[in-house]
């Protein structure tokens, strides 16, 4: 699968997706740490991709997104922005509202008995 196709698939399959360095529990940079903390503070599950483990995505995503830096938050297929935008939205309550609305529209699949 081409890298761009993989990126498009990840974005389409995950309504809340954070491309970051490291993981939410073990971020590898301060900006990724702040962004994942803000998202975790919204109280909804989200997907993430560790770009350090995926050098192809790390190289291609800035071109695809027309956004040069990481982290990158994607919600319902749209690039929201990087750390500064995420933190600003979190501080004024916009991020929590956006994430909870998206989580309502995309409930996690429940296990069938």
Annotated binding-site positions for glutathione: 21, 58, 70, 83-84
Nearest to 22 by CA among 14, 12, 13, 31: 31
pTM above 0.85, yes or no: yes
Break the chain into its structural domains and give their ranges: 3-105
The fourth-level CATH superfamily of domain 3-105 is: Glutaredoxin (3.40.30.10)
Per-residue pLDDT of the chain (113 residues; tens, 9 = 90+): 799 999 999 999 999 999 999 999 999 999 999 999 999 999 999 999 999 999 999 999 999 999 999 999 999 999 999 999 999 999 999 999 999 999 999 987 645 44
Annotated binding-site positions for [2Fe-2S] cluster: 29
Nearest to 67 by CA among 53, 52, 83, 91: 83
Annotated binding-site positions: 21, 29, 58, 70, 83-84
- For β-strands 16-20 and 72-75, DSSP reports them as antiparallel
């Amino acid at each position: 699968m081409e890298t761009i196709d993989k990126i498009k698939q990840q974005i389409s399959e995950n309504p809340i997706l954070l491309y970051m360095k490291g993981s939410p529990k073990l971020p590898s940079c301060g900006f990724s740490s702040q962004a994942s903390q803000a998202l975790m503070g919204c109280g909804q599950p989200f997907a993430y991709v560790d770009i350090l483990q995926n050098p192809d995505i790390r190289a291609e995503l800035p071109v695809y997104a027309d956004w040069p830096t990481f982290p990158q938050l994607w919600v319902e297929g749209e690039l929201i922005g990087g750390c500064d935008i995420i933190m600003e939205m979190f501080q004024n309550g916009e991020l929590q509202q956006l994430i909870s609305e998206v989580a309502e529209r995309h409930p996690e699949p429940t296990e069938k008995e």
